[in-house]
Amino acid sequence: MFNAAELSRVVSLQEKTYQLLRWVNEHLRRGSLDFGVVHTATTTSEAAAEWIGRHLDNLPTAMRPRADEVEDFARLFASYLTTSFELKEKPDERLKSGCGCWCPFCTYVVSADNLTVRNPSKKAKQSAVNLKELYIKFLAESLELEASAARLDDCLSTPALAESVSLATYAHELIRRSRFASQGEGILVLWREIAWESGFVNDDPKRPYRRAKKGFKINAEEVLSAERRIVDWLAPPEG
């Protein structure tokens, strides 16, 4: 089960990554941000950690990780960029790194104007299902509860648990992403299941919509409540 303190810490870091992307974009527009170092790092998260560590004292307090959290923060920031967005060249211009470094981190961040939100593929949607199965199985086994394939299917197909499963799985993967690499676009599918809403304009079935919930943020207490609901469902009835 979740460690409440660790969950709160990582949720806070995740929120800061979003704020940092907005801040970076604003200062790149002003030309007041330095990307003049060619990264020798081998991965996107390592390049992000190198850049964030170099600018740590200059970042606004509200979006600044502690010095001992830079690597965790960088992994979250890098995976947020590459999982949620893709680079699109505009018809009349070519992408530029701006600093001469063509590592994925620099290419994404300095081309913020060309970032577009990804549309998850069918493969990504199946990946999200797989992540849910892995999380529920992990949770059940950690509590020595039944984790048969039939039991997992029942849990995933119970409408009353759908939002709780998506939220808890996303949070579980968020903690993993702070320690290791991202699980790809399946994470984006999970995010949309909890942070987006759908319906019909003026209740007209011919005019469906799907959009981000205004001001949505992950709340650690809500994640813990979601996990408790799943545990209560998995646990056998007393007596």
Domain endpoint, select from 97, 117, 137: 117
CB 186 within 8 A of CB 131: yes
Domain endpoint, select from 86, 117, 148: 117
Q: What is the pLDDT of residue 82?
A: 76
CA-to-CA distance for 195 and 175, rounded, in angstroms? 18
Q: Model confidence over 72-103: pLDDT tens digits?
A: 999 998 888 778 766 554 444 444 445 545 45
Check whether residue 39 and residue 86 sit in a common domain: yes
Mean pLDDT, range 40-51, rounded to an integer: 73
Residue 190 — very low, low, confident or very high, per pLDDT cuts 50/70/90?
very high
Which range has highest mean pLDDT (15-19, 104-108, 228-232)?
228-232
Which of these ranges, 151-160, 178-187, 229-238, has the smallest mean pLDDT?
A: 178-187
Check whether residue 160 and residue 78 sit in a common domain: no
Check whether residue 130 and residue 83 sit in a common domain: no
What DSSP string runs through 116-179?
EE----HHHHHHHHHHHHHHHHHHHHHTT----HHHHHHHHT-GGGHHHHHHHHHHHHHHHHHH
User: Among 46, 31, 42, which Cα is nearest to 99's?
Assistant: 31
Check whether residue 26 and residue 63 sit in a common domain: yes
174 found inside a domain = yes
Residue 28 has pLDDT above 80, yes or no: no
Burial class of residue 229 (count of CB atoms within 10 Å of its CB; 0-12, 13-18, 19+): middle
Q: What is the pLDDT of residue 108?
A: 57
Check whether residue 223 and residue 129 sit in a common domain: yes
CB 221 within 8 A of CB 169: no
239 found inside a domain = no
Check whether residue 148 and residue 215 sit in a common domain: yes
Total residues found in the chain within this entry: 239
Mean pLDDT, range 92-115, rounded to an integer: 53
CA-to-CA distance for 188 and 31, rounded, in angstroms? 31
Number of domains in the chain: 2
Domain endpoint, select from 58, 83, 117: 117
DSSP designation for 56: G
Residue 213 or residue 5, greater confidence: 5
Check whether residue 99 and residue 127 sit in a common domain: no
Task: State the first-to-last Cα distance of the chain, in angstroms, to the nearest integer.
Answer: 24
Residue 165 — very low, low, confident or very high, per pLDDT cuts 50/70/90?
very high
Q: Cα dist. 150→49, 84, 131 in Å?
A: 43, 32, 16
Residue 110 — very low, low, confident or very high, per pLDDT cuts 50/70/90?
low
Residue 211 has pLDDT above 80, yes or no: yes
Check whether residue 89 and residue 191 sit in a common domain: no
